[in-house]
Structure 1
């Protein structure tokens, strides 16, 4: 069926040329004395704002103590301010102005005499009420959702996984390769997030792009009947590149930050969210390939070939951008 072929091509080839579209912002409230707060925030932006930069929306019982400081960072606005509140901020709304599109922001509130809370703001819901009592599983839920959203919006990671599914034959081998990729990036994600290991972001992002180009080339070789390294040892290749991808995941998580006292829970929840999103994509691609194989078998090879070219071209673009740009 032509629509199945078109869907396969659209899924794996018509991807955006911007990787890691989800660049979550953060806002941190730290109470330094009763009723006195230090506020810091980072809001990713694709282009400089027109007019005055957006500021956090304070609870009704709070006001800025002096003028906030806002400066331009790399693709983001970074701000800080001192805030005074005449009453507890529990039960009050906290928000962020100027959130557009798929903007996402994690808010961390650290009071002096109660436990740390987290809120999540989006463009659709740019404000949220800080509950009087922290809901059970708040950190787990928040970081799980962030993990799912990161993998689903991080096209560089997704294209690697999709190319792996296109290349490896047999669902058992696909599962083995995906598991190796999962184990590898879980190791470096944990190590980098906890400060045990680290690599500079730029070479990491370049190697991630290179891994996509490599797998796309391996898929095209397989289309010509040539057996490449990934076909012979898919779990080894997936594991090695997975180690590098883990540093990419850690970079995104480090931008968000981990809540003090619940680092392990947040790290596990984020990682589980990443895996849940990844497994969802693997399952969808496998189902789509099987549907094309059953309904329009003759169109499967051309569709995979076109998709591989799309993946390779996209990865090459990112590679040049990350090395030169």
Structure 2
């Protein structure tokens, strides 16, 4: 029957995700440039998450700069002009360029597929425009939420818990408000927690929501879903902050970058809700939709339980 084939496909997909998904995988590559003398830089790719960075990413240096193996010669005028990374957005979703200037200052630039170039001014001064930074960080926020399988499963779990009704608006709003608070507090160094406990708590939050959604009785989570979303949203915000710290915040327009990254996260979250609503409209009239719902919740809970065990173990390793 059609519903059985769909159900089997769903379970197989969840099993594959459980085996291959990695939370908050941004596939970041990192390049470091260290100015050793005026206009002379040592540069190298650091170990990327997927390896083989030099094979897939090619730096295009500012005009007037010449490279000799791992030495970049830019002359007396310094490293001025446009720096590009060819290939960013394919194997690697973003590239971090860390420049250690001769005067001791450091700057971090984030290049993405949507913004694969950055303008350098020969010193630590960062003159990137507000619009340029906003565009880059919105794109990174969208990519992070869509690539963060655990965050998506928590949002989907909330949808199963609440359903598509008026309470969903308050529930999603509470989740957004909570993770925005802890994202900002952590990114601005007002709050600091070790990543392993945060990741374990995120996985456990998914387990709880899945279990609560399976209950037929009126549980606390079903009576007050916005409260549950807010409390767990505080933890998920710390997860978002961990990814943002890996990317880095520009010293100029730091608040703009923080705000637009959060906006990108919300855009990705709304895209998920919209896709789920469209799927629900398509299958809501199926006679066996309740069986598919139960199977999906068991799949989500099982996957999250596996993550929880592995992440709790990582705390003590």
Classify the secondary structure of the residue corresponding to 1:105.
strand
Distance 2:3 2:64 in 1: 56
CA contact (8 A) 2:31 2:46 kept: yes
Shift of 1:174: 1.1
Classify the secondary structure of the residue corresponding to 2:84.
strand
Shift of 1:32: 8.0
> Number of matched residues?
300
CA contact (8 A) 2:27 2:49 kept: no
The answer to whether 1:291 aligns with 2:282 is yes
Match of 2:84 in 1: 94
Distance 1:308 1:199 in 2: 30
How large is the Cα RMSD of the aligned pairs? 3.9
TM-score scaled by length of structure 1: 0.77
Comparing 96-105 with 145-154, which one deviates more in the overlay?
A: 96-105
Shift of 1:25: 3.2
Q: 1:319 aligns with which of 272, 283, 308?
A: 308
Q: Which runs of no fewer than 5 residues in structure 1 stay unpaired?
A: 69-81
Distance 1:163 1:102, change over 3 A: farther
CA contact (8 A) 1:165 1:286 kept: no
Match of 1:35 in 2: 39
Q: 1:246 aligns with which of 231, 237, 248?
A: 237
Classify the secondary structure of the residue corresponding to 2:288.
helix
CA contact (8 A) 2:110 2:247 kept: no
Q: Which runs of no fewer than 5 residues in structure 2 stay unpaired?
A: 122-126
CA contact (8 A) 1:148 1:276 kept: yes
Shift of 1:284: 1.4
Comparing 83-92 with 94-103, which one deviates more in the overlay?
A: 94-103
Match of 1:75 in 2: none
Shift of 1:229: 2.0
CA contact (8 A) 1:23 1:252 kept: no
Classify the secondary structure of the residue corresponding to 1:269.
helix
Match of 1:62 in 2: 65
Distance 2:99 2:52 in 1: 26
Match of 1:6 in 2: 6
Q: Deviations over 1:46-67 (max 9, x none)?
A: 4x559x99887362643568x8
Q: 2:252 aligns with which of 258, 261, 271?
A: 261
The answer to whether 1:16 aligns with 2:17 is yes
CA contact (8 A) 1:216 1:308 kept: yes
Match of 2:124 in 1: none
Shift of 1:29: 5.2
TM-score scaled by length of structure 2: 0.79
Q: Deviations over 1:159-188 (max 9, x none)?
A: 000110111034321111111000000000
Shift of 1:10: 7.1
